[in-house]
Chain A
Amino acid sequence: MEQKPLPLAGGEEAEYLLALKQDFRGVMKNLPFFIKPAAAQRDVQRYSDKYHSSEQTNSLTDWNLDWRRFPRELQVHIRRRVREGLAFSTMDSSVPVQKKKKKKEEEEVLLKLETLEKKEEHEQSSEEEEGGVKKKPEEEEGAEAEEEYDEEELEEETDYIMSYFDNGEEFGGDSDDNMDEAIY
């Protein structure tokens, strides 16, 4: 290049603007507006995947949309696979979900047993197509989990806390490049 560019303008204002910009980006990443794509399918089906799926679907639950300003068709419907007919429950957050929770809990337990039964049959019959089918029950499970309140211990009715399902893959991840040393 023949001509070198001028140096950047420094000074207090520029630094403050820089700090504002980086803060803004950081905050946006944690807001419900940041939509993460579905996690990539790993090579082998793991037991803990069933329990990890509920973590991802937090994006629109804590954002109270005023549906009067949005077109109706953008509402995400959660379908529950009941044997007789289809019961739709919308994610319409303007309706206070908490009040109906207690009434629904008993129903939910029964429905859950039915859906799990159905799912078992479904998964046995189509074991080859892991990718396509796994996504659907995962998404539904994740969607169902949204309606329950998020206390760690009671999610998915396990007796274990979520960290029980860590498969230890994240442990020891830093020392990837020192492969010549033995790992004890």
Chain B
Amino acid sequence: MTAQEVRLCGLLLQEHFGEVVEKVGRNLLKSGTQNLRAIVHETGLSVDLVKKSLCVLVQHGACSFIQGRKGPGSPTEYKAHCDRVLRILRYPRYIYTAKTLYGDTGELIIEELLQRGHMTMSNTVKTVADRLTQSMDEGSSMDYGEVSATFSKLVETHFLQRCPPAAGAGTTGSSQTANSTSAAPASSTAPTPESFPDCYRVPQVTLIGRSKRSLASEEGEDQRNAKKAKMDPETHGDEGIYWQVNFERFHQHFRDQTIISAVANKLDQTSSEIVRTMLRMSEVTTSSTAPCTKPLSANEIFRSLPATYNIPRHILDQYLTLLVDDPMEFVGKAGESGGGMYIVNLNQALANLARATLESIVQERFGSRSARIFRLLLRKRHLEQKQVEDFAMIPAKEAKDMLYTLLSQNLVQLQEIPKTPDFAPSRTFYLYTVNQLPTARLLLQNCYKTVANLMERRLFEAKESKRLLEKSQRIEAILASLQASGAEPEQLTEVEEMITAPEKQQLDSLRLHVNKLDSAENQVDETIFLLESYISSSTKPTS
């Protein structure tokens, strides 16, 4: 947990859950595993507030608890997960992806689950159906069956998964791990959701009917209905089964999208379609941590190409050969049977994409000539000062200057190779080198710092104009209520004029700035995703 990550997590928690949860979360992130008393003592908050914050954090999966770690009777210990909190940055992307794949229904399902952490299927279906009905025309309402069908589809494609049963929260979970004894409720490692066989099984839910449209005009009935809804303990046969969003699957999807668009940019549309087909066929057979997909024969690929792309067989073979020979090495050949067995090199593709990102970062910050030196060093590994000047075709003085700038930014490292045991400068080789993985880590931390800075700036701007924002909100509320009750246009213009013209200008420019900062955060998050995927793929233990 680096300082930058903790700072960013703190800001995200503050924006979405309030300052109290931020304090508790920060404390947990900095101090590691702690029990309740220690948290209360260190944060100085009241016990009730700390308890509520911990509930919120556990609900959203940002915190997990272990009971009886040091033997039975020891207090419950809480641990915060930094990477889970950082996912909050990516929520809009998840929701948008669900929309492109499963339409508005899918979008709302994912949005509800992200807002609430985890929910039962029946609750989700009901809430989403109600929301959809609100936006539909008068008289029509959403059928629960449709929403359930979309939910099941999401589970089938593994975008949603069941929450693992709580470990030692009172009832002992099912003993899936081989080494769990009958007495000990706590296992040594927390079970992942995928270690339970029922992870992706949709429960039998009896949920028939249509959602009710809540009418704003009948206030009295509404209140009674609202009360009835709270008291109504309808069971639909899936109590205790909670669902959460499967982030890994979304990440797989993003990674595939990135590879496909990279191929489309480098080669052409048809090759990207071929790669898309290959990836689609390997979706369920390849685990998320595999370095490359399972081998697919050219025959299978030919059969699975989408119907709109009826290219003849020999053209397909030519395309495949082109893809294999491409220096980017997205596709590799794994054998000759079945007309040629082809794989997609996932790790290699990620490494190449990360390298392209690093090069582009250097180019945009230091200029194209520095970028040329950087690329050179990436390819040639170790080079002396003189060699750098020669290969890059840059005059000596400028090359020296640029190298030193890159060195001071830690993007380039210096390796000393002595000729004699005393490191005499005249008799030592000084070689410049670039290591891709450490540089990627460094730039990832820079990205976190960038996003944290953007958020702070946005909060600062909003705080500066707080008074103005509140005024405009009040006026909007007045306008809305006037319009709903049918007022004359003169009254409306009178209310609108309560905001003066320079204030309106100020508001507009504030909105523009805030939107820009928000948009920038989204964009930086794309880079973060790429670098994170690369780092996690290259540090995985190869079995």
Q: Which of A3, A17, A73 has a CB less than 8 Å from the CB of B93?
A: A17
Say whether B16 contacts A25, CB under 8 Å. Answer: yes
Q: Which of B145-153, B195-203, B426-434, B512-520 contacts A (4 or more CB under 8 A)?
A: B512-520
Q: Is A16 an interface residue (CB 8 A)?
A: yes
Say whether A70 contacts B58, CB under 8 Å. Answer: yes
Decide yes or no: A68 and B170 within 8 Å by CB, A8-B523, A21-B91, A33-B59 being known contacts: yes
Say whether B92 contacts A17, CB under 8 Å. Answer: yes
B 342-363 contacts with A by CB, 8 A: none
Q: Which of B56, B67, B242, B467 has a CB less than 8 Å from the CB of A33?
A: B56
Decide yes or no: A21 and B518 within 8 Å by CB, A13-B96, A33-B59, A33-B60 being known contacts: yes
| Residues of B close to A70: CB separation below 8 A | 55, 58, 65, 166, 169
Query: Residues 504-533 of chain B: 1 if any A CB is under 8 Å from the residue's CB, otherwise 0?
Result: 000000000001101111110000000000
| Residues of B close to A6: CB separation below 8 A | 364
| Residues of A close to B60: CB separation below 8 A | 33
Say whether A24 contacts B17, CB under 8 Å. Answer: no
Best-buried of A72, A73, A96 by chain B (most CB within 10 Å): A73
A 28-56 contacts with B by CB, 8 A: 28, 31, 33-38
A20 to B58, CA, bound (A): 24
| Residues of B close to A14: CB separation below 8 A | 519, 522-523
Q: Is B54 an interface residue (CB 8 A)?
A: yes
| Residues of B close to A16: CB separation below 8 A | 96
| Residues of A close to B463: CB separation below 8 A | none
| Residues of A close to B518: CB separation below 8 A | 18, 21-22
Question: Could you count the A-B residue pairs with CB atoms below 8 Å apart for me: how many are there?
Answer: 130
Q: Is A179 an interface residue (CB 8 A)?
A: no
Say whether B169 contacts A68, CB under 8 Å. Answer: yes
A67 to B171, CA, bound (A): 11
Residue of A nearest to B67 (CB): A71
Say whether B364 contacts A5, CB under 8 Å. Answer: yes
Q: Is A60 an interface residue (CB 8 A)?
A: yes
| Residues of A close to B19: CB separation below 8 A | 37
Q: Which of B96, B114, B115, B365 has a CB less than 8 Å from the CB of A3?
A: B365
A37 to B458, CA, bound (A): 22
B 1-58 contacts with A by CB, 8 A: 15-21, 36, 46, 48-49, 51-56, 58
Say whether B169 contacts A69, CB under 8 Å. Answer: yes
Q: Which of A68, A76, A96 has a CB less than 8 Å from the CB of B233?
A: A96
A158 to B541, CA, bound (A): 67
Say whether A37 contacts B20, CB under 8 Å. Answer: yes
Decide yes or no: A75 and B51 within 8 Å by CB, A14-B519, A17-B93 being known contacts: yes
Residue of A nearest to B360 (CB): A6
Q: Is B240 an interface residue (CB 8 A)?
A: yes
| Residues of B close to A68: CB separation below 8 A | 166, 169-171, 240
Q: Is B262 an interface residue (CB 8 A)?
A: no
Q: Which of B76, B91, B165, B242 has a CB less than 8 Å from the CB of A24?
A: B91
Say whether A76 contacts B51, CB under 8 Å. Answer: yes
Q: Which of A65, A73, A139, A174 has a CB less than 8 Å from the CB of B48?
A: A139
Q: Is B423 an interface residue (CB 8 A)?
A: no
B403 to chain A, nearest CB (A): 16
B69 to chain A, nearest CB (A): 13
Residue of A nearest to B51 (CB): A74
Q: Is A27 an interface residue (CB 8 A)?
A: yes
13 contacts between A and B (CB under 8 A): A3-B367, A18-B92, A18-B515, A24-B111, A24-B115, A33-B59, A35-B20, A37-B20, A65-B55, A71-B169, A73-B36, A75-B51, A96-B233
Hey, which bits of chain B sit against chain A, CB under 8 A?
Answer: 15-21, 36, 46, 48-49, 51-56, 58-60, 65, 67, 75-76, 91-93, 95-96, 111, 114-117, 163, 165-166, 169-171, 230-231, 233, 240, 242, 364-367, 467, 471, 515-516, 518-523
